[in-house]
Amino acid sequence: MRRISILLLTMLLSVIMVHAQKREFRGAWIQAVNGQFMGMSTRQMQQTLTYQLDELQKDGVNAIIFQVRPECDALYESQLEPWSRFLTRQQGRAPQPYWDPLQWMVEQCHQRGMELHAWINPFRAKTKGTTALAPNHVVKRHPELCFAYDGQYLLNPAYQANRDYICKVAEDIVSRYDIDGFHIDDYFYPYPVAGLAIPDQAQFEADRRGFSYIGDWRRDNVNLFIKQLYETIHRCKPWVKFGVSPFGIYRNRKSDSQLGSLTSGLQNYDDLYADVLTWIDNGWVDYCVPQIYWQIGHPTADYETLIKWWDKHASKRPLFIGEDVERTCKYPDLMDSRSHQMAAKHALHQDMRHVQGTVLWYAKAVVDNIGNYGMVLRNHYWKYPALQPLMPFIDSKRPKSPRKVKPVWTSGGYILFWQVPKGKNWGDIANKFVIYRFAKGEKINLEDPSKIIAITDKTMYQLPYRNGSQKFTYVVTALDRLQNESKAKKVKVKL
């Protein structure tokens, strides 16, 4: 793998501070469907995840998107679906010693100041590699609601019963776990295989709902599901963010001269029947993460073309970009063959008006530091902490300021204490605090992320006392569930 040249990194250092973002979604996907946890003991999996989370925290990641339902199964305790074979090698078998991976991940991420977004595959009911299904699996219980396609089984989006069922699963997860987000990926109707038709003509003929073309009918089936899922999540817990990660191409220009991009690949709208722009424009999702996994200069799906397209057309909801770490590090920068494309892609992010974050595919590639990717995040791009992007369409009211902020001398040195401000409703309650530090003479600028020294759910912070000769100003603010930030409370102390 190519490494970013020392010369280039030195040049980058001069501009990173200018572009450092105080608010940025810095996510990473941790998937189960690739089998990376299959057959691990409870202890082994916890050790693996602990190491990954520790490294990702050092790299600046502030949100984990954790796959908990690859094929109508569960990497959590569920009364609705069987335990996943991607956890225990056998669908329906509980982990031994017993544990709940989702509950554990929620706790571990929150301890590290990270959000946890639970990721499900909504309609996929069986992957190609699965050979045995548990007796309580939905394909076994309701085969009439599913269809087979290219070695897979899928819940048929045409049936309201399936849309209700997936929403019931979502409600179960959202109501029982303290997750920050609920996430679905790009599997709606199946990825098309040449010569293989989707077996839903009979359902179309039986219930056209006024549609003359089956493609429009399929898109409407998915639209109905997305709207229902959004409403289900927010009815259960209004603060849980609903995100979708669609395939990277909406439509090609040859299919749509007005909205298509100058690409020639698979299309969300025409091939997967996913009308992503309708979801965004109608406010049925809270954030969108298009999977722009290709390189700059790709002949049919150029990265630069696509990030500009999404920035232009998908701005009505927060936009984060799905990045493929391995491919980014595989291909050389078109302007400097000594470097891979990480720096060039980051520069494009900075140039986009509406891009507010990144989600990395996949977490282990970052942890393994492929192409020095993790270290560059850690030491440069994501060196300083970042709050989550604002979502005023969910909640825009900020909490009250922390109370009684005061440094106290103890036997262990100075400790900064404060009290939680009062709040009645979920949108008013503070659940985290931001601590800033400014040296004597420095301007108090809360938009400078380099001054953030901690984002914590605690109400105390150990100060680094030396000899009591230097003056510092510490600022503490409160955050609510959507990370709206309170007014500041300042205190001066000699350290």
46-57 per-position pLDDT tens digit: 999 999 999 999
pLDDT at residue 10 greater than cutoff 60? no
CB neighbourhood size of 390 (10 A): 17
Q: Give the 3-state DSSP-derived string for the chain, with helices as H, strands as E and coil as C.
A: CCCCCHHHHHHHHHHHHHHCCCECEEEEEECCCCCCCCCCCHHHHHHHHHHHHHHHHHCCCCEEEEEEECCCCECCCCCCCCECHHHHCCCCCCCCCCCCHHHHHHHHHHHCCCEEEEEECCCEEECCCCCCCCCCCHHHHCHHHEEEECCEEEECCCCHHHHHHHHHHHHHHHHHCCCCEEEECCCCCCCCECCECCCCHHHHHHCCCCCCCHHHHHHHHHHHHHHHHHHHHHHHCCCCEEEECCECCCCECCCCCCCCECCCCCCHHHHHCCCHHHHHHCCCCCEECCECCCCCCCCCCCHHHHHHHHHHHCCCCCEEEEEEHHHHHHCECCCCCCCECHHHHHHHHHHCCCEEEEEEECHHHHHCCHHHHHHHHHHHHCCCCCECCCCCCCCCCCCCCCEEEEEEEECCEEEEEEECCCCCCCCCCCCEEEEEEEECCCCCCCCCHHHEEEEECCCEEECCCCCCCCEEEEEEEEECCCCCECCCEEEEEEC
Query: Average of pLDDT values for 66-75?
Result: 98
pLDDT above 70 as % of the chain:
96
Residues 6 or more apart whose Cβ sits within 8 Å of residue 75: 32, 66, 67, 68, 69, 83, 84, 86, 87, 101, 102
**Edge-to-edge, what's the strand order for the sheet holding 413-419?**
403-410, 413-419, 460-462
pLDDT at residue 107 greater than cutoff 50? yes
Residue 189 preceded by cis peptide, ω within 30: no
pLDDT at residue 231 greater than cutoff 60? yes
The single-letter code of the amino acid at 261 is: S
Query: Average of pLDDT values for 478-488?
Result: 97
Query: Average of pLDDT values for 7-31?
Result: 71
pLDDT above 90 as % of the chain:
93
Bridge partners, residue 464, by sequence? none
- Cβ atoms of residues 124 and 187 within 8 Å: yes
* Dihedral angle computed from the Cα positions of residues 302, 306, 307 and 310, in that order, rounded to the nearest 10 degrees: 180
pLDDT digits (tens, 9 = 90+) for 249-266: 999 999 999 999 999 999
Query: Average of pLDDT values for 99-105?
Result: 98
Per-residue burial over 291-313, b if 16 or more Cβ lie within 10 Å, else e, is bbbbbbebeebbbbbbbbbbbeb
205 CB-contact burial (10 Å; exposed 0-12 / middle 13-18 / buried 19+): exposed
CA distance 188 to 21: 34
- Cβ atoms of residues 158 and 205 within 8 Å: no
Q: Taking CA 59 as the corner, what is the angle to CA 359 and CA 340, rounded to the nearest 5 degrees?
A: 70
Q: What is the pTM of this model?
A: 0.95
Among 126, 140, 34, smallest CA distance to 87 is for 34
pLDDT score recorded for residue 19: 62
pLDDT score recorded for residue 17: 47
Query: Average of pLDDT values for 70-87?
Result: 98
pLDDT digits (tens, 9 = 90+) for 293-336: 999 999 999 999 999 999 999 999 999 999 999 999 999 999 99
pLDDT at residue 12 greater than cutoff 60? no
pLDDT at residue 209 greater than cutoff 80? yes
pLDDT score recorded for residue 300: 97
pLDDT score recorded for residue 225: 98
Among 329, 317, 322, smallest CA distance to 248 is for 322
pLDDT band per the 50, 70, 90 thresholds, residue 390: very high
Bridge partners, residue 27, by sequence? 63, 359
pLDDT score recorded for residue 316: 97
pLDDT at residue 360 greater than cutoff 80? yes
pLDDT digits (tens, 9 = 90+) for 400-457: 999 999 999 988 889 999 999 999 999 999 999 999 999 999 999 999 999 999 999 9
pLDDT score recorded for residue 175: 98
CA distance 109 to 403: 27
pLDDT score recorded for residue 13: 45
Cα-to-chain-centroid distance, residue 155: 24
pLDDT at residue 6 greater than cutoff 70? no
- Cβ atoms of residues 455 and 409 within 8 Å: no
CA distance 463 to 120: 42
- Cβ atoms of residues 78 and 22 within 8 Å: no
Cα-to-chain-centroid distance, residue 141: 32
Residue with tokens 């439509």: 251
Pairing of strands 432-439, 413-419: unpaired
CA distance 352 to 354: 6
